[in-house]
């Protein structure tokens, strides 16, 4: 799969985890944009129009749920697929994230970086087949 034209925004405040994810995405050929909090994530989404957003929920300032809510209410960025990547893995949080419009919910503790890449690739494949 040619990922060179795919742009992914990673909104993650944990610098160690963000670096691992970004490195893996770059190795797979994706263009990567980074944001360390919800406000910057929203700003980058509007300015850069990524093809997909990896969004943490526990963020400084506005949390990931609020970011998702604002994105889905903002016409210009409402159609960007959002994958939640969080340590909040209880059923209530997962349901809330999906109800707010996330296309997938990944629990950090349960996944290796390779698994994250596979899920992203599957989402892009589904989008191409629509």
The per-residue pLDDT for range 42-56, each reduced to its tens digit, is 999 999 999 999 999
Backbone φ and ψ for 12, nearest 5 degrees, come out as: -150, 125
Percentage above 70 pLDDT, the chain = 98
Listed residue (54, 44, 35, 34) closest to 117, CA to CA: 54
Phi, psi of 107 (to 5 degrees): -90, 120
Q: Specify the CATH architecture of the domain 7-128.
A: 3-Layer(aba) Sandwich (3.40)
Query: Residue length, the chain?
Result: 130
SS3 64: helix
84-105 pLDDT, tens digit each: 999 888 899 999 999 999 999 9
The radius of gyration of the chain from alpha carbons, rounded to an integer in Å, stands at 13
pTM for the predicted model, two decimal places: 0.94
> What are the residue boundaries of the structural domains of the chain, listed by start?
7-128
């Amino acid at each position: 799969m040619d990922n060179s034209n795919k742009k992914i925004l990673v909104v993650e405040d944990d610098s160690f985890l963000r670096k691992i994810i970004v490195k893996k995405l770059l190795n797979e050929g994706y263009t990567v944009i980074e944001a360390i909090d919800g406000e910057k994530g929203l700003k980058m989404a509007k300015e850069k129009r990524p093809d997909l957003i990896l969004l943490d929920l526990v963020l400084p300032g506005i949390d990931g749920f609020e970011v998702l809510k604002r994105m889905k209410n903002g016409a210009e960025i409402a159609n960007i697929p959002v994958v939640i990547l969080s340590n909040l893995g209880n059923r209530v949080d997962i349901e809330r994230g999906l109800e707010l419009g996330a296309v997938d919910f990944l629990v950090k503790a349960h996944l290796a970086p390779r698994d994250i890449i596979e899920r992203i690739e599957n989402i892009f494949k589904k989008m191409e087949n629509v």
